[in-house]
Structure 1
Amino acid sequence: MSSETSGRRLDTPTSRRGPIFHVDADIIGVYAERIARFLGTGQYLAYQTVFVIVWIFINLVAVSLRFDPYPFILLNLAFSTQAAYAAPLILLAQNRQENRDKIALEEDRTRAAQTKSDTEFLARELAAVRLAVGDTVTRDYLRKELDDLLDDLVERLANRSAGDQSTDPE
């Protein structure tokens, strides 16, 4: 074995050769979503329909301009290429939308949990206020108690004055 190959390990990758491209996945995703949105519009279908009609018309009627005879192999190839690019772009757009939906769902769950805890706190506070209000003296209750005390005092005074009159030698 030479000294050059003896120091190299087979399980360690060698350094990369050639240019290294750093592509931002978000930028690709944004453009993929734009393309996917456009592919799903009626405007795109109208453009594509006009394109196909013109293509077929030129290749069937205009003999001097004919570049894709009857089985329209080039048109078929163009649609195949379009489908080969459109499907992954649509899937990429769907995956990005799914990720956004997951984030929104998690935020909704967090917000719902916070709302639930706030509601439970307010219910406990309201119950405490009701208990505190239930222990306070109302005007009617105080009036009744004072009337009962007044009646009791009048009765005691009446009993005392009746007792004083019975012991009075007059």
Structure 2
Amino acid sequence: MARAPKSGFEAPRGRRASVLTRTPQPSRDRFGRFTEWIARAMGTPAFLLILTLFCAAWIGWNTVGPETLRFDDAALGYTALTLVLSLQASYAAPLILLAQNRQDDRDRVQIEQDRQRAERNLADTEYLAREVVALRMALTDMQNEAISRDVLRHELKTLLERLDERDAERDVERRDDGSAAS
């Protein structure tokens, strides 16, 4: 039975249904994450304990176990165990190096981001410091101007008072001169 087309409210506008229903692609970085998981797992006490128990069980079985069921001869130095451990080490080393390289790349990116952030913080701090200095200078200028204005006003008042006194003295002299002349 054919499905009816979706109405405008049931499907997003401008999107094809095939785009929305497609399965997500596997991450291209899956192997890198796997190598990091291996490196983290091999660096744990649990891994060392499991490996030790595995070797002890191997040696114990091939030493004490029934001779017909032994698969690695103690007389030959446990050749199969040596081969298994060598194989594990030969795969572990490159995987650990890959994980370290990925970590180095992440660290490099993080260091670059930290450096850029520090530069921005320094620029912001320098800007704020310049602004604070400018505000201090403006406040100092305003205080100096206020003091200068007050001093200037006081001086002008003093001068006006002296001028008024002189004018008053001249008026008195003129009156005295005018009354003496009459």
Give the TM-score normalised by structure 2. 0.71
Question: Where does structure 2 lack aligned partners over 5 or more consecutive residues?
Answer: 1-25
Partners of 1:146 and 1:128 lie apart in 2 by 28
1:60 is aligned to 63
Matched, 1:33 2:39: no
Deviation at 1:161, TM superposition (A): 1.5
Deviations 1:89-133 (A, max 9, x none): 000000100111111111122222222222233233333333333
**What amino acid maps onto 1:123 in structure 2?**
A
**What amino acid maps onto 1:133 in structure 2?**
L
1:43 is aligned to 46
**What amino acid maps onto 1:69 in structure 2?**
D
1:157 is aligned to 164
Instruction: Summarize the alignment of residues 19-168 of structure 1 with structure 2, pairs less than 5 Å apart.
Output: 25-64=28-67, 65-70=69-74, 71-137=77-143, 140-168=147-175
Which stretch shifts more, 47-56 or 61-70? 61-70
**What amino acid maps onto 2:73 in structure 1?**
P
Which stretch shifts more, 34-43 or 139-148? 139-148
Identity, % of aligned positions = 39
Question: Where does structure 1 lack aligned partners over 5 or more consecutive residues?
Answer: 1-22
Give the TM-score normalised by structure 1. 0.76
1:82–1:25 Cα change, 3 Å: farther
Partners of 1:69 and 1:159 lie apart in 2 by 132
Tell me the SS of whatever aligns to 2:161. helix
Partners of 2:158 and 2:57 lie apart in 1 by 109
**What amino acid maps onto 1:163 in structure 2?**
R
Which stretch shifts more, 90-99 or 104-113? 104-113
Tell me the SS of whatever aligns to 1:63. coil
2:7 is aligned to none
